[in-house]
Amino acid sequence: MTKITDIPAIRFKGFSDTWEQRKLGDITTKIGSGKTPKGGAAAYKDDGIALIRSQNVNGDRVDLSDVVFIDEQTDEDMKNSRVLKGDVLLNITGASIGRSAVFTRELRANVNQHVCIIRTKGSDASPEFIQLNIISSNGQNQIDSFQAGGGREGLNFHQIGKMEFLYPGIEEQQKIGQYFANLDHLITLHQRKYDKLTNVKKSMLEKMFPQNGSNVPEIRFKGFTEAWEQRKLSEIATMHARIGWQNLRTSEFLDSGDYMLITGTDFIDGAVNFDTCHYVERERYEQDKHIQIRNGSILITKDGTLGKVAYIQGLTMPATLNAGVFNVEIKDENEVDNRYLFQYLKAPFLMDYVDKKATGGTIKHLNQNILVDFPVVLPHKAEQEKIGEYFLAIDHLITLHQRELEKLKNLKKACLEKMFV
């Protein structure tokens, strides 16, 4: 056992002891994995005793939503791979190598050959603290160093036992473990809300727009009964992009300025991330009024990742388009609501249409001659406005939870750096 004087950058009040460096092999009673059930996948059952595979060790937790089961005889054959509450599970092969989680359930279960059980001995090492060390940059760097040829090809038990980490006293370990457990709980809550809202939107896109040739949707706002009308996109909007001779050289991209340049790579979740945009000189902005962008503009990528759609909100300066993006301008705003058209273009209808046009191949450029005939179904303007507002409100909630998720994940990443040595 080696005494280390290093301490983390951040620690809880009341703790001042130095941390000790120890190998996993010295503080565990078991480092080992399961095996393939006799008969392989044919041994899987619809019910019985859970068999945990690498896909179940995900997001620093054991996800049993798609777990498979084995029968009593297979369980007996695999008794050396039974999991106990408090075991640390570590994926040791495949693309998910290095992912880990603590098994926290009172549940009879086994692991297969792709998952390693790390079981602590005594009371001076917390499973939660060990798992946090494994997912820290220190732990992941050690896993990388064990891999022949630089790729993550597989871990053996001897290598896992050699992994070294610094440990405080058990009380401080538990305090740190509880902090991260609370953080993970918040991350899970926001992930569930995000997933739920995403599923709600997907469902409502199917129910609030007519399907399969119908001229009315399954669900609509109260007070609207008229049939919807089908129009071609070219009948209700114009589409303009930066033409060839106007194309910009990268040397013309500015890091700051008074005229923003929007590129398809700046699109994120139906909006434009202005923080990633470049800028151009005034003459480039004034070159083509048809690609001058304002709040309420609808943009579609026509090159690279095709069919990504963005709705402009919060723009505070003049902006123009880089190559590869269409500016979709509504011809008569008394007839068509821009928020409604944005949602319709962002729904799967557009890319389903493009895929059908790509019979026998893949469309690499979303040409205007493909878009002009794209069918758009329209209710009266008042109903369009209601639908556009509804989906923008859902988008706003989805974005809020997504940002909170990112914030919490970044906080966890920062704390893993600052609270471990």
pLDDT band at 149 (very low <50, low <70, confident <90, very high): low
Closest C-alpha to 323, from 232, 253, 237: 253
- Per-residue pLDDT, averaged over 63-84, amounts to 91
pLDDT (tens digit per residue) in 223-268: 999 999 999 999 999 999 998 878 899 999 999 999 999 999 999 9
pLDDT band at 2 (very low <50, low <70, confident <90, very high): very low
pLDDT band at 124 (very low <50, low <70, confident <90, very high): confident
At 366 the pLDDT is 82
Tell me the C-alpha distance between 30 and 71, whole Å: 24
Closest C-alpha to 24, from 114, 90, 118, 101: 118
Tell me the C-alpha distance between 165 and 23, whole Å: 7
Number of H helices, E strands in the chain: 11, 24
- Work out the mean pLDDT of the chain and round it to a whole number: 91
Secondary structure class of 272 (helix, strand, coil)? strand
Q: Which residues have a Cβ under 8 Å from the Cβ of 154 and sit 6 or more positions away?
A: 92, 93, 97, 147
pLDDT band at 169 (very low <50, low <70, confident <90, very high): very high
- Per-residue pLDDT, averaged over 39-45, amounts to 87
Write the burial class of residue 369 (CB in 10 Å: 0-12 exposed, 13-18 middle, 19+ buried). exposed
Percent of the chain at pLDDT > 70 equals 96
pLDDT (tens digit per residue) in 307-336: 899 999 999 999 999 999 999 999 999 999
**Is the pTM for the entire model greater than 0.95?**
no
**pLDDT of 150 strictly over 70:** no
Distance set, CA 232 to CA 212, 337, 421 (Å) = 17, 15, 62
At 5 the pLDDT is 52
Closest C-alpha to 267, from 212, 308, 239: 308
- With residue 386 as reference, give the H or E element that holds it: helix 381-418
**Token pair for 112:** 């297969």
pLDDT (tens digit per residue) in 193-208: 999 999 999 999 989 9
Distance of CA 242 to the CA centre of its chain: 32
